Structure 1
Amino acid sequence: MKVLLYFESQKLLAKSGIGRALDHQKRALTAMGIDYTLDPNDTDYDILHINTYGLNSRQMIKKARKAGKKVIYHAHSTEEDFRNSFVGSNQLAPFVKHRLVSLYSKADHLITPTLYSKALLQGYGIQVPIAPISNGIDLAKYQATPDKEQAFRAYFNLKPDQKVIICVGLFFQRKGLLDFVEIAKQLPEYTFIWFGDVPMYSIPRNIRLIVKKDHPANVRFPGYIKGDIIEGAYANADLFFFPSYEETEGIVVLEALASHQKVLVRDIPVYHGWLKDQQNCYMGTDNTQFKRLIQDIVEQRVPDLTEAGYQTAESKQITAIGHELAAVYQHVLTPDESNPTYTQIMQHTLKL
């Protein structure tokens, strides 16, 4: 078995969760001993595993079909998570949905990160089989070390007793950026750091102004940072606060959980089935709740759930994801409903 992992606009998307998903796929396939190529001109493959919906996607599918190859589409994107992002995204969203449905429907099988995103796609009327498989997490990468934590605190010149709340994400309204800044205004005793980046010309003016200058002194936007500093931030911060309104999974949440970090998220359907309020994370629904929960978590007035959170990340480590990807690949090549791994994946349903 050989797989062509196709990822259009890789450089443009490298800083996003989708970009990290490709890296996880490569690691998962390597762990399973599955041969793969990234070269779209390579014709020696059995399955086209396509990750994006760029301009060349349709042609890649057509080319694969003509050569008698199987096609798996990784449905990272939905209409819902396209909204409230780039300039004009809400106006374009219906057209994006139409394109997604058209492309996804041409596959032999879909993979999508969560049961929630699977339910959305089924709601679009897509008839192709859909396997909910997490994007996974590299546990080893997010293990805390004193050097990483010191690198983080030194980079931001943080005092030993300075309390820090972090978030990681693109500069989108959908990600909850406005709420993050508003809550920071109400909690000046804490430092709020939002890691992430996106071309400024591509986002609405109100978001652009907030990132550039219209934010309180206790909020920092350092841009996209990788390596020891961000990994140290995940481990050393007092809280990972992710107020996003819409995700297909939220790789950054898995990264925080893998770092033994305390996690506070918005209570939205994408987390149902794997995150549980007051068990492996904390959840809120509005800024009033978020403010109270941030104070309670940072001041240690509520139970520490980091060990349970880590166990959740552990269940989604790359080796486990590799077994699930392999089961779908094998099913596409030689359909066998009795494969226990494939059957287990496909029998999962979302209970809202």
Structure 2
Amino acid sequence: MRVLNHLELESQMHRSGMGTAADQQREALSRAAPEIDVVTSPWTDGSMPDALFASWAYGDDPLVDYDIAHLNMAGPVSLGLARRAKAQDIPLILHTHVTKEDFRDSFRFSNVVAPALGVYLKHFYSQADLVLCPSEYTKGVLESYPVDAPIKPISNGIDLEPLEGYESFREATRAEYDLDGMVVFAVGNVFERKGLTTFCELAQATDYDFTWFGTYEEGPAASKTVRRWVQDPPENVTFTGWVDDKRMAYGAGDVFCFPAKVENQGLVVLEAMACEKACVLRDIPVFREYFEDGHDCLICEDFAEFEDALARLEADPELRERLGKNARQTAESHGLDEIGAELADTYRDLIAGH
């Protein structure tokens, strides 16, 4: 079996959760089902320009052959590949990493664009023979559009190996960013949807060092909220920008604070859990689906509960340790071996029923 597992704009998406998810799908398949031949580019010469030139100059087919198309983006190239798959009766899987709900509060004008995006996504995903998504929550969102295709939740999983050795980064990273005491931290792109305002207001209300490890937009695409906080942060907040190794964040930080408003799963939460960090999360459906308040995290409904959770974790190192150890077990239950086996079975079932 040959599977096209494709992420449009992959070179630009490597710093995003979508890029991580696609990488983990491929790694999971290589571990659990090495007999499946996975190709990541649809182009015979590796790139669209080279393939189209060869087609024009020599009459070559610009596209490789494959038995299943598994597409991770909803862009124009993916739309063309989806239509080709339908025309040639190739089983088509469309993977949901973006909904109109989680597009809001991301970039400038994203809230204006979100309704039109929802209309497009409804039609795009409805082409699929199967839609994959990371959670039951996301499945419910797609059903509300409604998407006219079968929908199956599969966890994005977590690759534990690249996080090994995070402890060795602690001292150097804390020294680099002048961090001390119990460091409250977040990881990922700096968006209001990720809880930026809550994160900064918590910093203003407390004395802990807060650090957000991740890129932020400063150009025309930046939202007013991101510009406001990044350009004039509270005294105890550091925005690091891109860091070369994410283990720097998980080594330096003590409490992972992620007051995201909307998530389809939250890969960075699983990464923090894999590093045995106590996690403080907003009470949203997907976190209730995957995590348990008081067992592997603390889930907070409002600002006062976030403040209280941080105070409890500072006062009780044993609570931090217990939550972190349980969190590690949760992360291990999302390991890539299990995810790869589930993906491989999904491919086989789709071909058998096509």
Q: TM-score, normalised by structure 2?
A: 0.89
Instruction: Answer whether contact 1:85 1:174 (CA < 8 A) is retained.
Output: yes
Instruction: Answer whether contact 1:168 1:196 (CA < 8 A) is retained.
Output: yes
Matched residue SS, 2:265: coil
Candidates 264, 269, 276, aligned match of 1:248 = 264
Equivalence for 1:55: 76
Q: Which amino acid aligns with 1:80?
A: E
Matched, 1:310 2:328: yes
Q: Which amino acid aligns with 1:13?
A: M
Q: Structure 2: how far apart are the matches of 1:236 and 1:193?
A: 9
Matched, 1:275 2:291: yes
Q: Structure 2: how far apart are the matches of 1:287 and 1:91?
A: 27
Matched residue SS, 1:152: helix
Matched, 1:120 2:136: no
- Deviation digits for residues 47-71 of structure 1 (CA, Å, limit 9, x no counterpart): 1110011122211111222333111
Instruction: Answer whether contact 2:167 2:251 (CA < 8 A) is retained.
Output: no
Q: Structure 1: how far apart are the matches of 2:341 and 2:225?
A: 44
Matched residue SS, 2:184: strand
Q: Residue 144 of structure 1: CA displacement?
A: 4.1
- Deviation digits for residues 78-108 of structure 1 (CA, Å, limit 9, x no counterpart): 1110111111111111110111111100011
Q: Residue 236 of structure 1: CA displacement?
A: 4.2
Q: Structure 1: how far apart are the matches of 2:314 and 2:12?
A: 35
Q: Residue 241 of structure 1: CA displacement?
A: 0.3
Matched, 1:234 2:253: no
- Deviation digits for residues 115-147 of structure 1 (CA, Å, limit 9, x no counterpart): 110111111122311111111111122234542
Q: Structure 2: how far apart are the matches of 1:82 and 1:133?
A: 21
Q: TM-score, normalised by structure 1?
A: 0.89
Unmatched 5+ stretches in structure 2: 44-62
How many pairs does the alignment contain? Answer: 330
Matched, 1:153 2:155: no
Equivalence for 2:5: 5
Matched, 1:202 2:221: yes
Q: Structure 2: how far apart are the matches of 1:77 and 1:136?
A: 17
Matched, 1:111 2:127: no
Identity over the aligned pairs, expressed in percent?
A: 37
Deviation larger for 32-41 or 70-79 = 32-41
Equivalence for 1:14: 14
1:172/1:236 CA distance change after superposition, 3 Å: closer
Matched, 1:325 2:343: yes
Instruction: Answer whether contact 2:166 2:247 (CA < 8 A) is retained.
Output: no
CA RMSD for the aligned pairs? Answer: 1.7
Candidates 263, 274, 281, aligned match of 1:265 = 281
Equivalence for 2:164: 143
1:302/1:278 CA distance change after superposition, 3 Å: farther
Q: Which amino acid aligns with 2:10?
A: Q
1:170/1:232 CA distance change after superposition, 3 Å: closer
Matched, 1:83 2:98: no
Equivalence for 1:340: none
Q: Structure 2: how far apart are the matches of 1:2 and 1:14?
A: 24
Q: Structure 1: how far apart are the matches of 2:217 and 2:178?
A: 27
Instruction: Answer whether contact 1:183 1:291 (CA < 8 A) is retained.
Output: yes
1:233/1:58 CA distance change after superposition, 3 Å: closer
Unmatched 5+ stretches in structure 1: 337-352
